[in-house]
Structure 1
Amino acid sequence: MLRINLLIVYFFIFSALIANAQLAHDTPESVGLNSKFIQPKIDSIITAGIKQEAFPGAQLLVAKKGKIIFHKAYGYHTYDSIQKVALDDIYDLASVTKITGPLPALMKLYEEGKLDLDKPFSTYWKSWKHRKDKKDITLRELLAHQSGLQSYIVFLNEVTKNGKVKKRFIRYKKSKRFSKLVYTNIYANNRFKNVMFRKIKKSEVNSKKVYLYSGMASLIYPQLIEDITRTPYQTYLEKNFYEPLGCKTLAYLPSERDFKNRIVPTEIDTIFRKELTTAYVHDENAALLGGVSGNAGLFGSALDLAIIMQMYLQKGEYNGKQYLKPSTVNEFTRIQYPENNNRRGLGFDKPLIGNDTLSIDKAYPAPEVSPKSFGHSGFTGTFVWADPKTELVFVFLSNRVYPSRTHRNIYDLNIRPALQEVFYLAE
């Protein structure tokens, strides 16, 4: 009897170690899925997307129960069919930055007692203290997009006039005052971030406190993190998360890194940069901050995204190291304001309320995902999602903004939910 009990204990210890180990490749069959069902359906959806110019190329990585069961690249970097998409290509993550950049840092500071979700944000961001419409907004409201802040401010309008850049903000030669690299030989004034912060401070707030997705606070978070930790924002992320997790490509400013991986281009910029944007952030607001922002700016590979999403899925643990407390992950990934018909968690996106009752053309993401699932999408065509109930991590990368952001077939064809659904129907 004792021997049987010991065997049971050893089995559960071994199972836990396997579950918490590094992601490893295996077959869909190893986790109870049918590869003969999955492969043709995924191939069909993505190749149809390429033919209908939803994107010139893409890749999909799916992990289940800690095993990478699908990772395949399709198409090319651009429609000239010269450079094939490779599995280790690096992508501009756009708004996926929000949950892979500032959010893990904010989660860590929260659990250390250095941030309170329900105290006024002005407790930490002093410039809001004397703004009647902002002094009582909480960090919880900001992270759940329940604060009333407007959605977006086009700061490019501040630095250009009649199609020309204003010299007090932009120069074409690096100097002590102009060292924020916007693009090749384009530099922003180091103090332009203060212009951003002032304009955000003076921006209108909706007093009704209804759900409205806003990227404004994300522009502030890196500076807030630096102020609290007294550590450069990028250094804090690298030392506390990216390096120990083994995320080798997850980084800002890839043009300054010695990456051997190819970087997938985004849009042919006809307004500001006047050429195909590659290795520099697509989002103009992040660009004017020198490429380092909380709303966009991170680049990374599918594998690195899978690692950080697997860490979230495993309640803050990965490969034997606890990065965040389970209680922290639970708090940030739960829906915050369902009574306001707001589906959001803290930083994380969530399924539509009642998502499982919707058809796939109306659902977000796939109707089969559990209410406990979470993730985020990015404007450039990126999407990551984790489902604790099914232990599924889904990473889709594309450059749907090539050659122009007007290309919207990735949405019109409902490509990402359709792909995600395949792995729920493949049992």
Structure 2
Amino acid sequence: MKKTMIRIALVSLVFLGISGYGQNKAKQSFDVKRNEVYIDSMMTNALQKGFFPGAQIMVGNRDAVFISKNYGFQDYSKKQSVKSEDVYDLASMSKVLGATLVTMRLAGEDKIKLTDKLGDVAAVYKSTPIADLTLFELLTHTSGLKASITFYQSLLSTPDGSPLLSSEKSAEYPELFDTMYVNKNIVYDSNYLSFMPKENWIQIYKNMWLNPEFYKTVYAQIAAANVNPRGKYVYSDLNLLLVKQMIETKTGKKLDQLTNEIYNELGISKIGYNPLKWTSIENVMPTEVDNFFRKDTIHGYVHDEAAAIFGGVSGNAGLFANAESIAVICKMLLNNGKYNGKQILKAAIVKEFTKSPLAKEGIYRGLGFDKRKPDEFFKADDFGHTGFTGTFFFLNPDTERFLIILTNRVNPTRTNRLMYKDDFSAKIWRQINK
């Protein structure tokens, strides 16, 4: 009887060992050919239907890159094919790859706390209605602030006071911007905007400089933007503008300095704000034809108008990167904050920021990071972020895989939302995690 029991126990142990081994192999195995065929098919369809002019796609895990491919062209003129060194405007992916990444570093060094209050850190908000907002509320988008403010539109007017935009095309409103038509007689506020460089003014586009006095009105508008119930989830660009102010005040350094310190440690160079300072315009993907504010095809400067107002360095947007540089950050996050033997971020901080602390309340959001209510495409532990310009990156800590999709779907216009109607990125994400 004893021998039988021992034999059963041994068989059970062997079976458990084999099962565990099988699970580990399944976790690590990735059918490159099958997934590459799927991605190629998706991309061919997307390019044929005009989802975007071109794209970079990268798939990998914590240790390696499995698929790295470029598709299409920089724009619809089809003069320049997409190449690996091309950098894309990441739009809201900047929220996590910029301000959130820095916040994680500072939190790990006990230089900032999630319980820190905005008014205690940034004096400009000390006696305002939003003074008591915590860093936690800002990062989880539960601050109650409205989704956004079009700061730049207060810099524009018309001589006769007619509206800046109209829903109808006419002789007075000939050019399309998004779904509206632009008044042909728009005037720029010369108190705050100049088309020539001025001392201490901030360059916001290649031929535009902003009087920094304008920021006083920006901060006043943000301070009065608490229009939603505090604790309710409302995704807002304003939250990350405030996170930027908090980390800059805490450190005495600018956001681009702080991000560059991390990027340098990671050994990545095709990522940063204001790309024309570190790469050539030939390596920057063009975005929208802006008939409204900048009267130009945006190329080499940030697409997002709020980030432009802040000189291209903002908490909500502003980063440009290629897939290769983002892949290094993905590997670091999947390796619990470690990369090439260096502990870039503390493991406990990575875990804390990429979980859903408010899931019990039905808020599927990490700290800075985008997370989704589990469905056919996304699992509970998945995290990442998307960007308005047509960018996407997500990581799955269970399969240890990541996916990066960079497109410039807003070229030539933001009205092109075809990739979203087709669940394009989500379908590829589901495929690579099978």
* Amino acid aligned to 2:139: L
Q: 217, 221, 244: which is aligned to 1:222? A: 244
Where structure 2 has 5 or more consecutive residues not aligned to the other structure, the ranges are: 1-25, 159-185
* 8 Å CA contact 1:249, 1:259 repeated in 2: no
Shift of 1:123: 2.0
1:334 aligns with 2:343: no
Shift of 1:31: 4.3
Question: Deviation per CA, 1:288-325, whole angstroms, max 9, x where unpaired?
Answer: 11111111111111011111122112111111000111
Cα distance in structure 2, aligned partners of 1:334 and 1:35? 29
1:377 aligns with 2:386: yes
1:171 aligns with 2:171: no
Cα distance in structure 2, aligned partners of 1:374 and 1:397? 17
What does 1:204-353 correspond to in 2, within 5 Å?
Answer: 204-207=226-229, 209-239=231-261, 241-259=262-280, 262-352=283-373
* Amino acid aligned to 1:380: T
* 8 Å CA contact 1:188, 1:288 repeated in 2: yes
1:419 aligns with 2:415: no
Corresponding residue of 2:207: 185
* 8 Å CA contact 2:337, 2:350 repeated in 1: yes
Cα distance in structure 2, aligned partners of 1:136 and 1:39? 49
Cα distance in structure 1, aligned partners of 2:151 and 2:49? 33
1:124 aligns with 2:145: no
The SS at the match of 2:273 is coil
* 8 Å CA contact 1:88, 1:261 repeated in 2: no
* Amino acid aligned to 1:251: G
Q: Which moved more, 1:399-408 or 1:201-210?
A: 201-210
Q: Which moved more, 1:136-145 or 1:109-118?
A: 109-118
Q: Which moved more, 1:410-419 or 1:162-171?
A: 162-171
Cα distance in structure 1, aligned partners of 2:346 and 2:33? 39
Please report the RMSD computed on the Cα atoms of aligned residues, expressed in angstroms. Answer: 1.9
Q: Which moved more, 1:318-327 or 1:335-344?
A: 335-344
Cα distance in structure 2, aligned partners of 1:203 and 1:147? 10
The SS at the match of 1:299 is strand
Cα distance in structure 1, aligned partners of 2:196 and 2:294? 15
Cα distance in structure 1, aligned partners of 2:194 and 2:269? 32
Question: Deviation per CA, 1:35-64, whole angstroms, max 9, x where unpaired?
Answer: 332122111111111111111111110112
Rg: which structure is higher?
Answer: 2
Corresponding residue of 1:391: 400
Cα distance in structure 2, aligned partners of 1:376 and 1:230? 28
* 8 Å CA contact 1:200, 1:216 repeated in 2: yes
* 8 Å CA contact 1:192, 1:288 repeated in 2: no
* 8 Å CA contact 1:137, 1:147 repeated in 2: yes
* Amino acid aligned to 1:325: K
Cα distance in structure 1, aligned partners of 2:99 and 2:285? 23
Question: Deviation per CA, 1:214-253, whole angstroms, max 9, x where unpaired?
Answer: 11021233333222112233222212x0111011111111
* Amino acid aligned to 1:150: K
* 8 Å CA contact 1:152, 1:214 repeated in 2: yes
* Amino acid aligned to 1:403: P
Shift of 1:259: 4.2
The SS at the match of 2:404 is strand
Shift of 1:378: 0.4
Cα distance in structure 2, aligned partners of 1:217 and 1:286? 13
* Amino acid aligned to 1:414: D
1:85 aligns with 2:64: no
The SS at the match of 1:402 is coil
Corresponding residue of 1:202: 224
* 8 Å CA contact 2:390, 2:406 repeated in 1: yes
* 8 Å CA contact 1:192, 1:289 repeated in 2: no
Shift of 1:191: 3.0
Corresponding residue of 2:413: 404
Corresponding residue of 2:50: 53
Q: TM-score, normalised by structure 2?
A: 0.84
Q: TM-score, normalised by structure 1?
A: 0.86
Corresponding residue of 1:20: none
Corresponding residue of 2:16: none
Shift of 1:165: 1.2
The SS at the match of 1:101 is helix
Cα distance in structure 2, aligned partners of 1:89 and 1:120? 39
The SS at the match of 1:251 is strand
* 8 Å CA contact 2:338, 2:344 repeated in 1: yes
Cα distance in structure 2, aligned partners of 1:344 and 1:197? 26
Cα distance in structure 1, aligned partners of 2:132 and 2:219? 17
* 8 Å CA contact 1:59, 1:396 repeated in 2: yes
Shift of 1:96: 0.6
* 8 Å CA contact 1:99, 1:348 repeated in 2: yes
Corresponding residue of 2:153: 157
Cα distance in structure 1, aligned partners of 2:359 and 2:404? 26
Query: Percent identity at matched positions?
Result: 35
